[in-house]
Amino acid sequence: MNRIVLLFFTLIIGCLETFCQNVMPLLTDSLVAEPVSGSLSYPIMNPVVSEYADKIMRLENLAIPENFDFDKVESLSIECRQKLKKYAPRTIAQASRISGISPADISVLLVYFGR
């Protein structure tokens, strides 16, 4: 019985490794590099969620200059600077979707770029 369980977990770990190596980079790149396009409609949505969605859509239009040096913005956390340099988002909305970037960091960027 223990051998079957060990084989099962070995198979699962192998599948997860393959997924992480081959699929996750594609998902991450598309989330960071591809802006949301087209018009989205929110037919049955609570007002708070709708307002949040509208804010995110407005952030799509706030561009970050190409090759921007995030080290110039001293108020950003170190983790945020590292992630922004690694993924180089083109808009504030793309930056907000990166794991590890806090809402406070996004607020700092909005103030820095003059919203």
Are both 30 and 10 inside the same structural domain? yes
Select, from the ranges 4-18, 39-53, 72-86, the one with the highest average predicted confidence (pLDDT).
72-86
Note whether residue 25 is domain-resident.
Answer: yes
Q: Is the pLDDT of residue 85 over 90?
A: yes
Q: What is the pLDDT of residue 68?
A: 92
Are both 67 and 113 inside the same structural domain? yes
Are both 30 and 53 inside the same structural domain? no
Are both 79 and 102 inside the same structural domain? yes
Whole domain around residue 9: which residue ranges?
1-34
Note whether residue 39 is domain-resident.
Answer: no
Are both 65 and 114 inside the same structural domain? yes
Give the domain CATH number at 63: 1.10.150.570
User: Number of structural domains, the chain?
Assistant: 2
In this predicted model, what pLDDT tens digit does every residue of 27-57 receive, in sequence order?
Answer: 555 555 444 444 445 455 567 667 777 777 7
Q: What is the pLDDT of residue 38?
A: 45
Q: Is the dihedral of CA 36, 41, 42, 47 positive or negative?
A: positive
Are both 22 and 51 inside the same structural domain? no
Residue in the block written with tokens 């706030």: 62
Are both 6 and 54 inside the same structural domain? no
Note whether residue 58 is domain-resident.
Answer: yes
* Mean local confidence (pLDDT), 65-92: 93
Task: Round to whole Å and give the CA distance between 109 and 54.
Answer: 18
Q: What is the pLDDT of residue 24?
A: 56
Task: Round to whole Å and give the CA distance between 100 and 89.
Answer: 14
